[in-house]
Amino acid sequence: MVLRVATWNVNSVTARVERLVGWLGSAKPDVLCLQELKTTDEAFPAEQVAELGYEAATWGTGRWNGVAVLSRVGLADVERGWPGLPEYEGVLEPRAITATCGPVRVTSVYVPNGREVGHAHYEYKLRWLDSLTRAVVEPARAGLPFAVLGDFNIAPTDADVWDVSLFAESTHVTEPERARLADLVGAGLVEVFPRALKYDRPFTYWDYRQLAFPKNNGMRIDLVFGNEGFAGAVSDAFVDRDERKGKGASDHAPVVVDLTV
């Protein structure tokens, strides 16, 4: 059985509901992790995705965050966040949701941006990532294939940025941020995408400004980390770059991973 698992920062599900429904119909993922919903749980287009056979678990408050897991292979044991998830300015932001979908368990994450090095949001980002590492230890070692997918707002290597010289001392490429990705590996996860990819690492995000997408001035910040059971089942992986094209696109492209389970 081939199971298709994907992640996509949709950058407002309300603004992109037609593109979401269209992509579900064409790509046919069995499980889709969404980030940056920018809507409430009540306003999420659950009926539209249900018509295509998907159940939806969401966590959104209508602000700039929000995450979801869509599944057409079952949806159980949903957890919104985890104990010890840090707050920012007294607010617990909806940035992580976990669910069991058929034979796999997934966590959809929208890691804080960080804004700029030295900013309170940057320190929040590092604390948030530390919390994530602690939260994944137990599911990473469990028998069920498990993965953390989403917008990490970190480029793992210099090759994952179109021109790293433009990011000197900026967020997304700093050593402390990248060290947190290494901590996930120490917790029992591996980044599955480069290992499964059959071609050069493509970018997953392009700014709307300065013709970034036509110039391919992008970054690879949408990542998939899986435990041994998940990573060992991966048969293919790709970025659906075509979904970034055209009017009304998100500034991120979906990342798709196929498993043989």
Mean pLDDT confidence for 83-99: 97
* Residue 175, C-beta contacts closer than 8 angstroms, at least 6 positions apart: none
Task: Look at residue 229 in the predicted model and tell me its pLDDT.
Answer: 97
Percent of the chain with pLDDT over 90: 93
Calpha distance 204→109 (Å, rounded): 15
pLDDT in tens, 120-146: 999 999 999 999 999 999 999 998 999
- CA-nearest of 94, 68, 64 to 81 is 94
How many domains in the chain?
Answer: 1
Mean pLDDT confidence for 147-161: 96
Task: Look at residue 201 in the predicted model and tell me its pLDDT.
Answer: 62
Calpha distance 150→221 (Å, rounded): 8
The answer to whether 154 and 167 have CB atoms below 8 angstroms apart is no
What is the rounded end-to-end Cα distance, in angstroms, of the chain? 5
Instruction: Region of 82 please: left (phi>0), alpha (psi -120 to 50) or beta.
Output: beta
Task: Look at residue 202 in the predicted model and tell me its pLDDT.
Answer: 87
Task: Look at residue 143 in the predicted model and tell me its pLDDT.
Answer: 87
| Domain span holding position 126 | 2-260
Task: Look at residue 193 in the predicted model and tell me its pLDDT.
Answer: 79
Residue 102 Cα to chain centre, angstroms:
19
Mean pLDDT confidence for 106-124: 97
183 by Cβ neighbours in 10 Å (0-12 / 13-18 / 19+) ranks as middle
pLDDT in tens, 156-202: 999 999 999 998 889 999 999 999 999 999 999 999 976 656 556 68
Mean pLDDT confidence for 48-72: 97
Q: Report the chain's mean pLDDT, rounded to a whole number.
A: 95
Task: Look at residue 169 in the predicted model and tell me its pLDDT.
Answer: 81
User: CATH code at 61?
Assistant: 3.60.10.10
Mean pLDDT confidence for 67-91: 97
pLDDT in tens, 207-249: 999 999 999 999 999 999 999 999 999 999 999 999 999 999 9
